[in-house]
Structure 1
Amino acid sequence: MCLFRYDDDPEPEEPDPAGPLFVPVRPGHARLGVRLFRTPLGARTAVGFTSAERLAATLGAEQPWIRLSVAVLRSLAEPVGASLVTVDPTLTAPAATGAPASGPGADPGTQRPGSLARTV
């Protein structure tokens, strides 16, 4: 019996998905920058999606993206203070009612706009 180990196939106990992620980016002056987000508790995190469809469902079809491995995404994000990588996050925001999110009648349990609902 011959066993092969591929670099993009994690062991079952490893939390990282196999293969490159779809990573949201933002245009810069002459390059692209990885978009960073915040968790519900305020920690900075890089995000990646396991499919382009999941990225579009969360951030919109117009969101530009690139493919990166978890290791490369982590190495790009750590120097700017994002030590977490969140895979397939769900973004949450208060309901759009036209009323301000703070002040009288605001729900104190509502998460901040653009915060991530789940971190892996």
Structure 2
Amino acid sequence: MVRLFRTPLGARTSVGFTSPDRLVATLGAEQPWIRLSEAALRSMAEPLGTSLLTTDPTFTAPAVAVAPTVATTLPEESPVAARIA
């Protein structure tokens, strides 16, 4: 499976690391990985429409977390509550 990333400007990119230590520093110790050549990574990403390859990125945003749903009740006099009823 190929995991694609986005650049700060939003372009899709495949990502390669030059050492396991650099991968762990960026993505964490639990990140699964395999060794690939640059050519192999590019050939896997190309059919997905990605020709850009980023090597050893040093910053990633944290994973998106789903916010818990909070149930609330609206006051009876609320205009929103009137539209829902």
TM-score (norm 1): 0.49
Percent identity reads 79
Deviations 1:30-72 (A, max 9, x none): xxx1211000111110001000000001000000000110011
Instruction: Point out the structure with max Rg over C-alpha.
Output: 2
Deviations 1:86-107 (A, max 9, x none): 110122438xxxxxxxxxxxxx
Aligned residues between the structures: 62
Structure 2 unaligned residues grouped into runs of 5+: 63-85
> 2:34 maps to which residue?
66
Q: Alpha carbon RMSD of aligned pairs, Å? A: 1.4
Structure with greater helix percent: 2
Alignment of 1:39-118 (within 5 A): 39-93=7-61
Query: SS in structure 2 opposite 1:86?
Result: strand
Q: Whole-Å Cα distance in 1 between the matches of residues 17 and 36 of structure 2?
A: 10
Amino acid aligned to 1:42: G
Structure 1 segments of 4+ aligned residues over 2 angstroms from their partners: 91-94
TM-score (norm 2): 0.68
